[in-house]
A and B are shown apart, each in its own frame.
Chain A
Amino acid sequence: MQRRHFLQTTAAATVLPTLLGGLPISTYGFSPEFLELTGSATQTDRVLVLIQLIGGNDGLNTIIPLDQYTNLLRARPNVAIAQNRVLPLRAATGIHPAMAKVKNLFDNGQIGIVQNVGYPDATGSHFDSTDIWTSATDSNVLNSSGWGGRYLNNEYPGFPIGYPNAQAPHPLAITIGSVVSNVVQGPAVNMGMAINSTSSFLQLLTGGVDTAPNTPAGHELTFIRQVVRQTEVYVTAIQQAAARAQNLSPLYPTAGENPLADQLKIVAQLVAGGLQTRVYVCSLGGFDTHGAQVDGGDGNTTGEHAKLLGYLSGALDAFQDDLRRLRVQDRVVGMTFSEFGRRILSNSANGTDHGEAGPMIVFGTSVNPIIHGPNPTIPDEPTFFENLPMQIDFRAIYASILKDWFQVPQTLINTLLPSRVGQFPYVPVIRQGTVTGSTPAAELEVAEFSVFPNPAQDRATCTFECQGGHVQVVLRDVVGREVRRVVDRAMPRGQCQVPVDVSGLKAGLYYCHVREGQRVSARSLSVL
């Protein structure tokens, strides 16, 4: 109560603006009193990248429930992707053909997909829903702080008083965009800074300011902009980080062609350059596809939505490639989120209206490369206002990432993500072997691991390249409960083929986990 009161009365998010395009870029807080230090920040070099798909991404045209295709086509005949154009990820689940590069990443174990993510009591307002997703509070609770901001505030109490300092010399969070994301809004001040565009990033590195007209007003404007530039905190740190690393991937498109790729390119450079920033927020706008989501061409695979998914796909592909070349891939995971999915039924404008649940994409070498949760169910005769219900609360994903990626204790997670529904269930979006280990994620993969047939009835086969030693093969259900222990013994080096008995299991989605020493991998397995 007392603390809450303090935070409210002293709150002052404060701009020390940076001059990029004559625009302020860095937001930096101010608070007139110290919060008592409660301990130093957790040692970690891990980075979380959030990609906000602004406008409400149409999940049903992104991750496609092939097992529901008949109903899907009936519900949205003018928008649905032609069945034969859908790229299969698994037998029952496909992906938009504009995301072939993401499918490839999925096949290579660098993409996880979480189905039907949302929150209870959904709202159709962009503003409200974005606030809910960024604050991670119950939809009926007003909270202007963001979940990332609360996490960082706990790690760096008292920020920004006394920052930067020797222990925390770098920005805590960076938004590539106009406004510092609400995700990193702390209880009192915003914990992040913003770099508003890629061109402004270049200007930041060179220290230049925009040219102003040769008038008295222009003269004074240039003077003030120079002082603004001088007073930006963290500029030197960013310049130094950028100077230490160059992007290495040839896969990035030409600057200006893919806005998301341009942003992720900066993130890769700064991470590789040693910036100790933990959270980056990027965004891609335009997903509010009420009309002309598809242009009718090529089985509805082209149009505005396809273009945006193509940006996402190409950006993730180049980013992962760059991180690998820069040898920092195991330090970075990311995820997409969008304020809501879209309506099951399409509208007559070849678009879709605001909906509810949708898929999230998690990416990185350290993610659990499976599809979490079953496909959404498309009703036979959906009404216009019918929406996909949420099955996994988005906060369960946040909680699991905080727990596995940043080692935040469960009790603290419960404080950071308060909810009337209580503690959120655990979703293993991070690959188990990477959770605590310092071993590179690439070396934590079980080699040559596959499960077939998939879907399976009665019996499947699990194959992998064994390193020699104790091996566990376990079948888990979607919420992580162990349902079968297939193998738990020492096995010789070389190719293994293990029969997996699935008889008697309820039809549905399961995960086959293989653990050998530090290596842990999982593959999804549909049981018929």
Chain B
Amino acid sequence: MNRRTFLRKPAAPVATLFERPAASGDQPPGKGETVSKFANKDLPATPRSLAGLAPYTGPWGPVQAAHLLRRATFGPTRAEINTAASQSLTQVLDRLFTVPATPDPPVQGFPGDPLLPVGAPFVTGDYEGGWSARSSVRAWWLGLMLKDTTIVEKMTLFWHNHFVITFDLDGGTFDSRFAYRYCALLREQALGNFKQLAKDMTVEPGMLKYLNGSANTVDAPNENYGRELLELFTIGKGRTIGPGNYTTYTEADVQAAARVLTGWQHSEENINGFFTDSLHEPGVKRFSSAFGNRTIANQGDQEYKALIDLIFDRTETAAFIVRKLYRWFVYYVIDATTEANVIQPLAAQLRQNGYNVGPVVRTLLASEHFFDAINIGCMIKSPIDFVVGAVRQMSVTFPPESNTVELYTAWSMLVDGAEKMQQFIGNAPNVAGWPAYWQTPQYYEMWINAMTLPLRNQFTDRIINEYGYDTNFPATVKLRIETIDWVQSLPPATAADCNLLIAEFVRHLLPFPLTANQMTFLNDTLLPGLPDFEWTVEWQAFLADPDNMTKRSAVDSKLRAVVRQIMGLAEFHLS
């Protein structure tokens, strides 16, 4: 069996979204742009919150509930927001932080591989399954985001962006079983213990393969993982204060860490990481003054834990991950006030509780700082948040669980959509994760440029279009917002009143209110040139005769026009 043939991406992509047209005539402005010319040249100096981590006790209603759910989940539904608004903040947080049961692993979701038919399990099997199996892992992961109503999937994605491996970029793991193991580990520790996660990740087969841990032996040390462990995964790189000295660690520490980790390799046969003592460097490893000049003696297959313990004894390790969490949940500008009022207290909490992340995230999301109005709507949605959020917010129906191919096809349409917008789950561009969370001073603005913005608009246009966003390969699937169903889920008096209805759409889809001019514009979109009561007339005429396709189409096309306008607003890209 030639496994290589299955590594090739199928000639026809799983879902043909946004195939680029051949170049012809004038090109749109900004063609090929990767960073917008309008993105930050310096960090913005807009006011930041002075509030700290005191529990938020201010008004609690749909605005606050929606803010919390938008940041903690992907695009909350109207029902989810209403339920949250009717409960207390504590109740909502309790539910958000209740970890659901471990989901069933993915199965082969796509036809075409005789060795791995649709529905076949593969995560513990002998056969990696190639592109289609890895696509199945991605699709399944996306499906979990769609279904999740807790913070677990937002945190799982956080850890994916933190402890990066790639499934099938050059240098990636190219093993669907490793990919699944890795996902499962991130999910298991999503609200768990950062220190334990760092330990587990160090000997995770996908990571050993991706960052060359498997090639790190006593005779031929490979520093790749040791370096990223310090620079990106744990303590972070500080200011360079001397040759090879980055304040928080030195080049000698990178070498010492690499020596600690010698002897670990991945096994495709057993789908695990394993230790070979003869490949392990037995000598004492000495660390610099950044680590108090501590040493680690030979401990064989337990030695890597001592290294993680050493790193996590440094206070900077806690602050490093807390800043990253802050940029994931709040905003990317961390000024001195925020550092003092938010970052350092959270880092202290993290150290004091032994690096349990869940309580720290909860403290942040329960805080006055988080609910400060200045922190509402300032986050640019990541592509995944954008595509998953759009279909969740408008309650798009997906194929039934019973139809594996259709369901995986539908999920992969969202994977592909986000990929085109420059966020390909399982394939972060490099080990540092997506630049929107580290590239200063642009940060979130990295997501939007002259190439990606039209793709975002096309995505929402397609799901709101009456024809829907559809594909015929590998299954015939259509994702479409059912505007009439959504409006019928509103209180009848709201649905029948054009201004209440538009306000409901805006409140639900956008993070903050629109101007009076914008609301007038939306009214004119729903009822061009007509008095308000005509909406009531047309809507009631439809309700009285709901099977009349002409009447249905009449109100449906108007509703689609309004939702399209709202989703086309710059505001819709904000969370």
Nearest-CB distance from A207 to chain B (Å)?
A: 12
Please, how many angstroms separate the alpha-carbon atoms of A287 and B450 in the complex? Answer: 41
Question: What residue in chain B is nearest A218 (Cβ atoms)?
Answer: B46
Tell me the complex Cα distance, A216–B528, Å: 34
Closest chain B residue, CB of each to CB of A21? B517
B518 touches A23 (CB 8 A): yes
Contact A8 B467 (CB under 8 A): yes
Residue in B16, B47, B444, B458 whose beta carbon sits within 8 Å of that of A215 in the complex: B47
Flag the segment in B21-29, B291-299, B487-495 that touches A.
B21-29
A133 lies within 8 A of chain B by Cβ: no
Contact B529 A231 (CB under 8 A): no
Q: Are B550 and A128 in contact (CB under 8 A)?
A: yes
A226 to B462, CA, bound (A): 23
A217 to B510, CA, bound (A): 12
Distance in Å from the Cβ of A517 to the closest Cβ of chain B?
A: 42
B554 / chain A contacts, CB cutoff of 8 Å: 125, 127-128, 131
User: Which residues of the other chain, A, contact B453 by a CB distance below 8 angstroms?
Assistant: 224, 227-228, 231
A30 touches B529 (CB 8 A): no
- Contact between B538 and A126, CB atoms less than 8 A apart: yes
Tell me, in angstroms, the Cα distance from A8 to B465 when the chains sit together. 11
- Cβ of A464 < 8 Å from any Cβ of B? no
* Cβ-based interface call for B524 (8 A): yes
Chain A residue with minimal CB distance to B524? A178
Say how far B226's CB is from chain A's closest CB, in angstroms.
37
Query: Which residues of B are found within 8 Å of A17, using beta-carbon distances?
Result: 457, 568-570
Are B26 and A164 touching (Cβ within 8 A)? yes
Other-chain residue from A11, A123, A178, A216 in contact with B46 (beta carbon distance below 8 A): A216
Q: A179-B561, A219-B44, A287-B529 are in contact. Are A225 and B570 (CB under 8 A)?
A: yes
Smallest distance from the beta carbon of A124 to chain B beta carbons, Å?
9
Is B549 positioned at the interface, with any CB of A under 8 Å from its CB? yes
Cβ distance B255 to chain A, nearest Cβ, rounded Å: 42
Number of A-B contacts (CB under 8 A): 209
| Cβ-based interface call for A429 (8 A) | no
Residue pair B574, A221 in contact (C-beta under 8 Å)? yes
Residue of B nearest to A32 (CB): B19
Contacts of A223 in B (CB 8 A): 36, 38-40, 445, 448
Distance of A399 from chain B, by nearest CB (Å)? 23
- Report chain A residues within 8 Å CB of B518: 21-23
Whether a CB of chain B sits under 8 angstroms from the CB of A294 is no
Contact A166 B25 (CB under 8 A): yes
Tell me the chain B residues, 539-565 only, with Cβ under 8 Å from chain A.
Answer: 541, 549-551, 553-555, 557-558, 561, 564-565
Q: Using an 8 Å CB-CB cutoff, how does the interface string of B454-496 with A read, 1 for contact, 0 for none?
A: 1001101110011101101000000000000000000000000
CB-nearest residue of chain B to A165: B25
| Chain A 449-473 interface residues, beta-carbon cutoff 8 Å to B | none
**Residue ID in chain A nearest B554 by CB atoms:** A127
- Give residues of chain A (281-339) contacting chain B, Cβ–Cβ below 8 Å: 283-288
Q: Which of B70-78, B243-251, B375-383 contacts A (4 or more CB under 8 A)?
A: B375-383
Bitwise interface map of A from 265 to 285 toward B, beta carbon under 8 Å scored 1, else 0: 000000000000000000111
A12 and B469 in contact, given A165-B25, A218-B46 (Cβ under 8 angstroms): yes
Map CB proximity to B onto A218-240 as digits: 1 under 8 Å, 0 otherwise: 11110111111011010010000
Cα A144 to Cα B514 with chains together (Å): 30
Known contacts being A21-B517, A55-B529, A231-B29, is A14 close to B558, with CB within 8 Å? no
A:204-258 near B, CB below 8 Å: 214-221, 223-228, 230-231, 233, 236
- Report the Cα distance A287→B376, complex, angstroms: 42
Q: Is A52 an interface residue (CB 8 A)?
A: yes
A505 interface contact, C-beta 8 A: no
Contact of A54 with B by CB under 8 A: yes
**Given the interface contacts A9-B467, A32-B18, A54-B529, does A196 sit within 8 Å of B521 by beta carbon?**
yes
Chain B CB within 8 A of A202 CB: no
A11 near B16 (CB under 8 angstroms)? no
Q: Are A16 and B530 in contact (CB under 8 A)?
A: no
CB contacts (< 8 Å) of A261 on chain B: these are none
Q: Mark B1-42, 1 if CB is under 8 A from A, else 0.
A: 000000000000000101101101110111000001111100
How many B residues touch A, CB cutoff 8 Å? 81
Check B573 for interface membership: any CB of A closer than 8 A.
Answer: yes
Which B residues are in CB contact (< 8 Å) with A125?
A: 537-538, 541, 551, 554
- A34 on interface, CB distance cutoff 8 Å: yes
- Nearest residue (CB) in A for B20 is A32
Task: Annotate A424-452 by CB proximity to B: 1 below 8 A, 0 otherwise.
Answer: 00000000000000000000000000000
Count chain B CB atoms within 10 A of each CB in A163, A179, A225 and give the residue with the most.
A179
Q: How far is the CA of A144 from the CA of B564 in the complex (A)?
A: 16
Least Cβ distance of A222 to chain B in Å?
8
B333 at the interface (CB under 8 A from A): yes
- Distance (Å) between the CB of A215 and the closest chain B CB? 6
> Does A490 sit at the interface, judged by CB under 8 A?
no
Closest A residue to B445 using CB positions: A223
B26 touching A142, Cβ below 8 Å: no
Cross-interface CB contact of B449 among A34, A52, A227, A283, cutoff 8 Å = A227
A14-B457, A178-B521 are known contacts. Are A164 and B25 too (CB-CB below 8 A)? yes
A442 to B392, CA, bound (A): 60
A24 to B465 CA separation, bound complex (whole angstroms): 16
A223 to B36, CA, bound (A): 9
Is residue A15 contacting chain B, with contact meaning CB distance below 8 A?
yes
The CB with the most chain A CB atoms within 10 A, among B460, B472, B521, is that of B521
CB <8 Å contact, B445 and A220: yes
Task: Confirm or deny: A514 has a beta carbon within 8 angstroms of a beta carbon on chain B.
Answer: no
Cα(A23)–Cα(B561), bound, Å: 13
Assess whether A231 is in contact with B47, with CB atoms less than 8 Å apart. Answer: no
The answer on a CB contact under 8 Å between B555 and A127 is yes
Complex Cα–Cα for A13 and B331 (A):
33
- Give the residues in chain A near B573, CB-CB below 8 Å: 224
Asked if B530 contacts A126 (CB within 8 A), the reply is yes
Q: Is the CB of B521 within 8 A of A23?
A: yes
B443, closest chain A residue (CB): A220
Q: Is A288 within 8 A of B534, CB to CB? A: yes
Docked complex Cα distance between A226 and B448 (Å)? 11
**B48 contacts the other chain (Cβ, under 8 Å)?**
yes
Provide the residues of chain A in CB contact with B466, threshold 8 Å.
11, 144
Pull 16 A–B residue pairs with CB atoms less than 8 Å apart, ordered by A.
Answer: A12-B465, A14-B461, A15-B564, A15-B568, A17-B568, A17-B569, A22-B518, A22-B571, A30-B458, A123-B550, A142-B553, A164-B25, A214-B46, A216-B375, A216-B378, A219-B44
- List of 8 A-B pairs having minimum Cβ-Cβ separation, nearest first: A285-B529, A165-B25, A54-B529, A127-B554, A216-B378, A162-B24, A24-B568, A11-B467
**Further pairs besides A15-B568, A224-B453: 17, Cβ < 8 Å:** A19-B570, A22-B517, A32-B16, A54-B529, A125-B538, A125-B551, A140-B550, A162-B22, A164-B25, A165-B26, A177-B524, A216-B378, A224-B380, A227-B36, A228-B453, A236-B29, A284-B529
